């Protein structure tokens, strides 16, 4: 494995999870976030993701790795479109079902992800516009990084073994979401496997990018509605107000 690829993998597997957990701890220590806090967080995340993607593209180009080998292609149009539609529908309805189910469940102890959702999701039109840019960035950049670069590296090291590439990519993707806890780690690993398989079948990142976008965009845009509904339900039946935060635990699947 080239030294620069090894350094990138170390950064993705060690530094990214640690930095993510550090940022989460900082967010959990403050009672609430302001509009400026959220916009600053969106902007810094967008900048970091594009810088990381640009660095990886530079190093893969320097190693004469064709863009098509990183999933930046559209060689199987019919299959790609079909799988993209399937994944988008699956992810969209999974989000809706999860939100509806959790909004009607009894209260339970809130965790880190619900608290983060309350502090990070957009709350007005300006924030929603910035959040849209964030979601586009995350969908494109993370899929290029994990389904394009990481998956290619594992496949190359394993001598073309597809299953090693799929599970290796999904593993690194899950580590990047370590801040979500054990349940989040498992869910993002499963989603990572699903997205990686779609990339293998289509030789393209398009289905994974589309599904990733829908997962995050649906969560951010529908969060306020479901939280309001959960809050109304709490007021009407006298349930523990922690129910509202539990609704949010379904929102972050692969953000």
Integer Cα distance of 192 and 13 in angstroms: 15
What is the residue extent of each domain of the chain?
3-248
Beta-sheet strands, E only, within the chain: none
Q: What is the rounded CA–CA span in Å between residue 227 and residue 235?
A: 12
Kindly report, residue by residue over 132-169, the tens digit of the pLDDT: 999 999 999 999 999 999 999 999 999 989 999 999 99
The string of pLDDT tens digits covering residues 195-216 is 999 999 999 999 999 999 999 8
Provide the pLDDT for residue 255. 42
- pLDDT confidence of residue 46: 96
* Residue range 22-53, pLDDT digits in tens: 888 888 888 888 999 999 999 999 999 999 99
How far from 233 is each of 81, 223, 227, CA to CA, in Å? 40, 15, 10
CA distance 197 to 209: 13
Please provide residue 65's backbone torsions phi and psi, each rounded to the nearest 5 degrees.
-95, 120
Flag whether pLDDT at 238 surpasses 50.
Answer: no
């Amino acid at each position: 494995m080239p030294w620069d690829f090894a350094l990138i993998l170390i950064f993705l597997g060690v530094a990214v999870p640690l930095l993510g957990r550090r940022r989460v701890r900082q967010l959990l220590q403050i009672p609430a976030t302001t509009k400026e806090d959220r916009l600053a967080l969106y902007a810094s995340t967008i900048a970091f993701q594009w810088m990381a993607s640009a660095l990886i593209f530079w190093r893969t180009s320097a190693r004469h790795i064709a863009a098509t080998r990183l999933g930046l292609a559209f060689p199987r149009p019919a299959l790609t479109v079909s799988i993209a539609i399937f994944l988008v529908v699956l992810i969209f309805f999974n989000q809706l079902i999860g939100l509806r189910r959790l909004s009607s469940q009894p209260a339970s102890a809130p965790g880190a992800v619900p608290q983060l959702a309350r502090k990070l999701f957009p709350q007005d039109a300006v924030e929603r516009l910035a959040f849209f840019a964030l979601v586009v960035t995350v969908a494109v950049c993370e899929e290029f990084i994990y389904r394009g670069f990481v998956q290619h590296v594992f496949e190359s090291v394993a001598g073309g073994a597809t299953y090693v590439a799929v599970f290796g990519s999904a593993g690194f993707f899950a580590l990047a979401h370590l801040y979500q806890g054990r349940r989040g780690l498992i869910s993002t690993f499963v989603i990572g496997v699903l997205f990686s398989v779609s990339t293998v079948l289509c030789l393209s990142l398009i289905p994974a990018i589309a599904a990733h976008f829908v997962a995050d965009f649906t969560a951010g845009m529908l969060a306020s509605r479901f939280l309001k509904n959960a809050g109304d339900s709490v007021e009407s039946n006298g349930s523990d107000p922690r129910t509202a935060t539990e609704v949010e635990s379904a929102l972050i699947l692969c953000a």
